[in-house]
């Protein structure tokens, strides 16, 4: 069984042996919520963010003074920092495809027809370059110059 990713139209969730596994549609395809299949970009019915939309959200978060081992540090200034980094670093699309950001593991680039479409993984997720999808932070080996937690 397949389910649409609530935030990113190029991703979906597949139920395999009772486990939910994030999956990504092929290049230039989006997951269609009605047919539950990957369709060409211009034919898919999607209510999440298509890759050409940079999703910006405002979140009110209560920080637990005793975080669990599975939690990550929350930094309310991260979204501003991400936007500033993107203004400084100009990503160039040479070949169509999906690429991780060199400054921030939460950002990935979708190159379509030589144009860069920046996307941001949902909170708690980071871009996994080999699988070409957003995964839980603890499963991603971040190689960018800026770590997930915001430390240099």
Domain boundaries, the chain: 1-50, 51-152
Q: What is the pLDDT of residue 56?
A: 39
**Mean pLDDT, rounded, for 128-149:** 73
Q: What is the pLDDT of residue 151?
A: 33
Distance in angstroms between the alpha carbons of the first and the last residue of the chain: 41
Please give the CATH topology (third level) of the domain spanning 51-152.
Answer: Antimicrobial Protein, Tachycitin; Chain A (2.170.140)
Q: pLDDT band for 59, please (50, 70, 90 cuts).
A: very low
51-152 and 1-50 share a CATH fold: yes
The residue whose two tokens read 């999440």 is: 48
Neighbours of 12 (CB within 10 A): 23
3.30.870.10, 1.10.760.10, 2.40.50.140, 2.170.140.10: which CATH number matches 1-50?
2.170.140.10
pLDDT > 50? residue 133: yes
Higher pLDDT, 56 or 73: 73
pLDDT > 50? residue 35: yes
CA separation for the pair 56, 122 (Å, rounded)? 10
Q: pLDDT band for 90, please (50, 70, 90 cuts).
A: low
Q: How far is CA 135 from the centre of its chain?
A: 8
Q: What is the pLDDT of residue 78?
A: 46
CA separation for the pair 144, 4 (Å, rounded)? 28
């Amino acid at each position: 069984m397949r389910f649409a990713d609530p935030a990113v139209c190029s991703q979906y969730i597949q139920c395999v042996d009772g486990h939910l596994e994030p999956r990504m549609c092929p290049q230039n395809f989006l997951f269609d919520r009605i047919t539950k299949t990957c369709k060409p970009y211009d034919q898919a019915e999607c209510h999440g963010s298509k890759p050409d939309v940079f999703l910006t959200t405002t979140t009110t978060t209560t920080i637990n003074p005793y975080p669990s081992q599975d939690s990550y540090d929350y930094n309310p200034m991260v979204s501003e920092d991400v936007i500033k980094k993107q203004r400084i670093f100009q990503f160039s699309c040479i070949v169509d495809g999906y690429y991780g950001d060199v400054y921030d593991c939460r950002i990935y680039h979708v190159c379509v027809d030589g144009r860069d479409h920046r996307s941001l993984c949902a909170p708690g997720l980071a871009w996994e370059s080999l699988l070409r999808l957003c995964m839980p932070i603890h499963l991603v080996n971040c190689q960018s110059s800026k770590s997930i937690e915001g430390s240099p």
